[in-house]
């Protein structure tokens, strides 16, 4: 079965200034699926119409992250922001429904001024709430460990095994792991063993090269030709988000498909 690659239109096609315009660009480049990080600067209905007009399936958004200009990167683990988290989850659901998007990454937040045990309790309570609330909408709830060494300093969820332990503890089939190979390589490496080990818990995968977060080609630490074959061999049937930063233009960078022996069709 061919792998299903989704263009992350927050990071790809930045030659076009708006997300609305990037749907058509993704379609013209050959993508059938798209995802984005934060769609909240543009209207939900306008985005939904553009996605539908392009004939694309929107497979993932992140929930509302808080005040990123003040360094926030999610609210789910912040003890003093529970009301904000749950209220803004409704906004995220509105966007997901307008896009007919069936997966949402719930962002944890940073640890800089909170007690770890208090954060963990808040996080588990909010994840339980979110998994149940999203289940009512037919939306999969995802959590993703981010590397705190380079990309997201002080991010609360920064370990794959810890994420899976939380999933097991909450024990809701609507809560899954978002496995980003870029972050996973920086966090712990051992990608092939971890993909096999955690496959039953994985609800979405994302890709980028290490260390520059560029195209998932062979010019870095990760052998994506091998990884893509492994994903086929172990029977991964979900989507693979192309969440990388093109080194030149988006279209020029798509040569990674040929280099690694995969296609968008």
Q: For 14-47, what is each residue's pLDDT tens digit?
A: 999 999 999 999 999 999 999 999 999 999 999 9
Rounded alpha-carbon distances, angstroms, from residue 69 to 65, 72, 104: 10, 7, 22
**261 backbone φψ class: left, alpha, beta (φ>0; ψ -120 to 50):** left
The residue extents of the domains of the chain are 4-260
Q: Count Cβ atoms below 10 Å from residue 226 Cβ, excluding itself.
A: 13
Q: Is the confidence at residue 247, as pLDDT, over 90?
A: yes
Residue 259: active-site member: no
As a whole-number percent, the residues of the chain with pLDDT over 90 amount to 97
Architecture of the structural domain at 4-260: Alpha-Beta Barrel (3.20)
What is the CA 185 to chain-centroid distance, rounded?
15
Q: Which of 144, 215, 258, 259 is catalytic?
A: 144
- pLDDT, tens digit (0-9, with 9 covering 90-100), for 116-150: 999 999 999 999 999 999 999 999 999 999 999 99
Q: What is the distance between the alpha carbons of residues 40 and 64, in angstroms, rounded to a whole number?
A: 7
d(Cα 217, Cα 220) in Å, to the nearest integer? Answer: 8
Q: Each residue of 60-102: pLDDT tens digit?
A: 999 999 999 999 999 999 999 999 999 999 999 999 999 999 9
pTM, two decimals, is: 0.96
* Catalytic residue, candidates 243, 252, 258, 259: 243
Residue 144 annotated to the active site = yes
CA distance 90 to 35: 19
């Amino acid at each position: 079965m061919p792998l299903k690659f989704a263009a992350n239109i927050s990071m790809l096609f930045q030659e076009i200034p708006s997300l609305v315009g990037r749907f058509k660009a993704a379609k013209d480049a050959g993508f059938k699926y798209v995802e984005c990080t934060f769609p909240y600067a543009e209207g939900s209905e306008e985005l939904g119409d553009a996605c539908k007009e392009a004939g694309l399936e929107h497979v993932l958004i992140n929930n509302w992250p808080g005040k990123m200009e003040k360094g926030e990167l999610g609210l789910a683990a912040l003890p003093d922001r529970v009301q904000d988290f749950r209220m803004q989850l409704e906004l995220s659901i509105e966007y997901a429904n307008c896009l007919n998007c069936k997966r949402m990454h719930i962002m944890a937040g940073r640890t800089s001024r909170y007690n770890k045990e208090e954060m963990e309790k808040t996080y588990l309570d909010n994840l339980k709430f979110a998994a149940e609330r999203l289940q009512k909408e037919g939306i999969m709830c995802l959590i993703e460990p981010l590397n705190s060494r380079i990309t997201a300093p002080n991010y609360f969820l920064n370990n794959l095994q810890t994420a899976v332990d939380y999933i097991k503890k909450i024990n809701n089939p609507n809560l899954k792991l978002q496995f980003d190979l870029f972050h996973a390589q920086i966090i712990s490496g051992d990608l092939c063993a971890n993909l096999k080990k955690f496959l039953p818990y994985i609800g979405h995968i994302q890709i980028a090269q290490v260390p520059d977060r560029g195209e998932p080609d062979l010019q870095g630490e990760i052998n994506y030709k091998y990884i893509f074959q492994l994903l086929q061999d172990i029977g991964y049937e979900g989507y693979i988000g192309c969440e990388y930063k093109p080194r030149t233009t988006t279209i020029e960078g798509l040569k990674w498909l040929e280099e690694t022996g995969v296609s968008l069709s």
